[in-house]
Structure 1
Amino acid sequence: MGRAFELRKGRKMKRWSAMAKTFTRIGKDIVMAIKEGGPNPDANSRLRAVMQNAKAANMPKENVERAIKKATDKDTANYKEALFEGYAPHGIAIIVETATDNNNRTVANVRSAFNKCNGNMGTSGSVIFMFDHVCNFTIKTAEGMDLEELELELMDFEVEEVFKEEEGVLIYAPFDQFGAIQKYLEENQLEILSSGFERIPTTTSELSEEQQADVDKLLEKLEEDDDVQNVYHSMA
């Protein structure tokens, strides 16, 4: 198995462990998808993907409907995606993805988290080169599905890894192949359970338990912020 498999096994969706945070994140994704491509999932591939993620996360129907209503309200400001880079203690690279309607607030909060936890917020480009940007899909396991055959069929999309977990078959590929793979899976009636993007570190650093605790303090501080969608790091 490759880096994506090992990373997923190690973290096991840690950042989605808090249900309320998950629903907030998906709610923002719904707003951004609708603002970008309209409220019809059939004509909006990004919204279609978000709706699949909402279902996979067991997001209540009323929460989804509330997010859709909010997105279609003309007075609702669109969220802007912003990315921040820096270092946690002990030289651990950090990438913070945010979605915000107030960039000044978000910048101040992210900088404050780094400062309070002995980290250092860097400039654009300071650590992003240390991570590969990939897309992922979880599809429903079909009867008689051959993973090697599926991987061969997806070779044209530069798929890097295909492996099976309890929730289904996971596919990892370069970021820019998302739309093409989504189209292929839908056309071949392979049910998409969830999909998304990740940043996988090209190298990781082993730390002692005490050092890990220092880094975790910053990660938790960042993930508590409502504007933060995802946090990635290079800690093993």
Structure 2
Amino acid sequence: MGRAFEVRKVAMAKTNAAKSKIYAKYGKEIYMAAKSGSPDPETNQALKRVIEKAKKEQVTADVIKRAIDKAKGGSDENYTSARYEGFGPGNSLFIIECLTDNVNRTIAEVRNCFTKTGGKLGISGSVVHQFNHFSVFTLPEVTEDEILEILVMNDVDVSDIETDEVGVTIYGTADDYNAIRTAVLEANPDIEFETEEIMWLPIMETTIDSDDQKEAFDKLMQMLDEIDDVQDVYHNVAL
């Protein structure tokens, strides 16, 4: 089905997670974005981006408001971004993005997930080189020529463009997220993105054929999803 389908599958997997997990995830991200800058999304682009993503995943206005109000109230609560890399069942590789107020607790919980499913937590850099850190946008009801014209007119370089039955998917570096998004929206302010994410995409995918390893992989994914500090999980397994 192509890489564009795999990208949407990653986004859909997040959407299908438990609401409480989604609310907690975005509550932390909104709070930290508001605390580190202005609590006004019109003057804080990082906050605006997180709020837009949260709304797409049906996070309620009340959850968003509470997180911003918490930042405005001067709460001393603080979270640290942490990234862990691991080797799972079969030839599976993992990148786990976390936001935590206790790094020691989080790394212990993540390590436990791998240990109990026959994998192991790797050192920093042991897995990440097998992934690309991309900003990814899928735009329905546009043509590749239209997107190319927008990008060329705005002098925006991208890594790749793919077209399928849903629309056009743009791949750029993570640093080019704002440049790509701004160029597209200035050309067409009413466009709605099917996908607008910064994500880790595997350079090569793998398959898991053994039933035992598939069971262990599913258990690992479930255990990681149950950790409150885990924000996103990326892997190289073709599902």
Task: Report the TM range for the smaller structure's normalisation.
Answer: 0.7 to 0.9
2:121 corresponds to 1:124: no
Corresponding residue number in structure 1 for 2:197: 196
- Alignment correspondent of 1:43: 43
Distance in 2, Cα, partners of 1:207 & 1:57 = 30
Could you tell me how far apart the structure 1 residues matched to 2:63 and 2:163 are? Answer: 32
Q: Percent identity?
A: 35
Which of 200-209 and 11-20 deviates more? 11-20
How many angstroms apart in 2 are the aligned matches of 1:109 and 1:204?
26
Instruction: Quote the Cα distance in structure 2 between the aligned partners of 1:32 and 1:11.
Output: 24
Partner of residue 213, structure 1: 215
Gaps of 5+ in 1: none
Cross-structure match for 1:149: 146
CA distance in 1 between counterparts of 2:145 and 2:2 reads 15
Question: Is the 8 Å Cα contact of residues 150 and 184 (structure 2) preserved in structure 1?
Answer: no
TM-score (norm 2): 0.86
Alpha-carbon distance in structure 2 between the residues aligned to 1:44 and 1:37: 6
Listed as ranges, the gaps of 5+ residues in structure 2 are none
Pair 119,65 (structure 1): closer, same or farther in 2 beyond 3 Å: same
CA distance in 1, matches of 2:2, 2:174: 17
Looking at structure 1, the residues matched to 72 and 49 of structure 2 have their Cα atoms a distance apart, in angstroms, of 18
Distance 1:49 1:169 in 2: 21
Distance in 2 separating the partners of 1:170 and 1:133: 15
1:8 maps to 2:7: yes
- Offset of 1:54 from its aligned partner? 1.9
Q: What pairs up with 1:1-236 in 2 under 5 angstroms?
A: 2-3=2-3, 5-8=4-7, 10-11=9-10, 13-18=12-17, 19-138=19-138, 141=140, 145-154=142-151, 156-163=156-163, 170-190=169-189, 191=191, 193=193, 195-208=196-209, 210=211, 211-236=213-238
- What are the Cα deviations for residues 70-103 of structure 1, in whole angstroms up to 9, with x where unaligned? 2223224222110001100213111100001111
Distance change in 2, residues 1:165/1:224 (3 Å) = farther
Q: Distance in 2 between matches of 1:28 and 1:196?
A: 17
Distance 2:47 2:99 in 1: 16
Number of residue pairs matched?
A: 231
SS, match of residue 199 in structure 2: strand
Q: Is the 8 A contact 1:31 1:71 kept in 2?
A: yes
Question: How big is the alpha-carbon RMSD for the aligned residues of Structure 1 and Structure 2?
Answer: 2.3
Separation of aligned partners in 1, 2:58 and 2:77: 26
Which amino acid in structure 1 is aligned with residue 37 of structure 2? G
User: What is the letter of the counterpart of residue 116 of structure 1?
Assistant: K
What TM-score do the two structures reach when normalised by structure 1?
Answer: 0.87
